[in-house]
Amino acid sequence: MDAILSYLVMFMMMTLAVVQAQLRTGFYSSSCPSAEAIIRSTVESHFNKDPTIAPGLLRLHFHDCFVQGCDGSILIADSSAERNAVQNIGLRGFEVIDDAKSQIEATCPGVVSCADILALAARDAVHLSGGPSWLVPTGRRDGRISSSNQASNMPSPLDPVSVQKQKFSAKGLDVHDLVTLLGAHTIGQTDCRFFSYRLYNFTTTGNADPTINQSFLELLQAQCPKNGDGLRKVALDKDSPAKFDVSYFKNVRDGSGVLESDQRLWEDPATKSVAQNYAGNIRGILGLRFEFEFPKAMIKLSSIEVKAGTQGEIRKVCSKFN
């Protein structure tokens, strides 16, 4: 069994290497030289009206890549499509991708894929939030399948670290990638319904999750009262929810992780080691380390099971197949 597993992991890594070789930065430099600038200006325009669109685009790209690879399948609008899976509740940013696509089609029809637009938009969203920028390898093609049934293995805020590791490993991502990518929770919000169970009757004695810092627990209970509005939004990073920084890791260190899956990172030796490095007290240096590692993890994420060459298609409209 171990030999089979080792073979599968090796095969996946070889496949990833081949795919990454098919993707390249500047893929559209001749066929649509203005593509990346159009995407950037579109994201910036939406961001200036509503900065919370940044974590929305980042999450949209992550959810796209975890189901059938980064192929834009999350963008399809259909009752049975991927975006309607229960795991994808609350996804947003579709209008930003549609806006960028319509502008690009007017300039370079049938050239730039929706999957690439989403990958580039996620990068721009991070940068606009004060995070790093990076060169995004492009050349993805759009998938021709989008099914809500295939989203069942998405990572969940209820997952213990062992399950998170398995789900990330199945996509060719290691523990370092897992912790680094979860650092995206430095921006954005979540609903009370996804973590309020931690605040009341978490233990058999009816108490809250003991790993939550007491003062933070009181803050969360005030924001999410018992039997209150489960749809109320709460920042994932209590200190700087709109700034892409290392505050998220400091919160996890201090028992102030909002989602259970975030806080559990501090209990597993392997994930704690990575989070601890990012949360360190040496001002500046540790933040720079996260800024360096996050782009590398994102490039790896955005290379998962991509369609390239003659696979898939280049959609005319991102929300429907050609």
80: helix, strand or coil: coil
Query: Residue 266's pLDDT is what?
Result: 96
Whether the Cβ atoms of residue 32 and residue 111 lie closer than 8 Å to each other: yes
For residues 43-58, average pLDDT: 98
Which of the residues 46, 61, 63, 176 is marked catalytic? 63
Q: Which residues pair with 142 in a beta bridge?
A: 313
Q: Which long-range contacts (CB under 8 A, 24 or more apart) does 129-134 make?
A: 129/51, 129/54, 129/55, 129/187, 129/242, 129/243, 129/244, 130/243, 130/244, 130/245, 131/244, 131/245, 131/291, 131/294, 132/244, 132/291, 132/292, 132/294, 132/295, 133/295, 134/295, 134/298, 134/299
Least confident of 1-10, 80-89, 146-155, 196-205: 1-10
61 is catalytic: no
Query: Is 186 within any annotated ligand binding site?
Result: yes
- CATH fold, domain 161-281, is Peroxidase; domain 2 (1.10.420)
Residue range 62-67: average pLDDT? 97
Please state, rounded to an integer, the average pLDDT across all residues of the chain: 92
Please determine, for residue 132, whether its predicted confidence score (pLDDT) is greater than 60: yes
Question: Is 82 known as a binding-site position?
Answer: yes
pLDDT greater than 60 at residue 6: no
239 is in an annotated binding site: no
Q: What's residue 22's pLDDT? A: 83
Per the model's pLDDT, the better-predicted residue between 56 and 2 turns out to be 56
Q: pLDDT digit string (tens) for 269-279?
A: 999 999 999 99
Domains of the chain: which residue ranges?
30-154, 161-281
**pLDDT value at position 281?**
63
Comparing 285 with 263, which gets the higher pLDDT? 263
Quick one: pLDDT band at residue 284, thresholds 50, 70, 90? very low
Q: Global pTM?
A: 0.91
Q: According to the annotation, is 155 in a ligand binding site?
A: yes
What are the distances in angstroms from CA 322 to CA 63, 140, 244? 22, 16, 36
> Cα dist. 71→14, 153, 205, 213, 287 in Å?
19, 17, 46, 40, 31
If one compares 315 and 153, the residue with the highest pLDDT of the two is 315
30-154 has which CATH code?
1.10.520.10
Residue from 246, 244, 298 nearest 277 by CA: 246
Q: Residue 106: pLDDT above 50?
A: yes
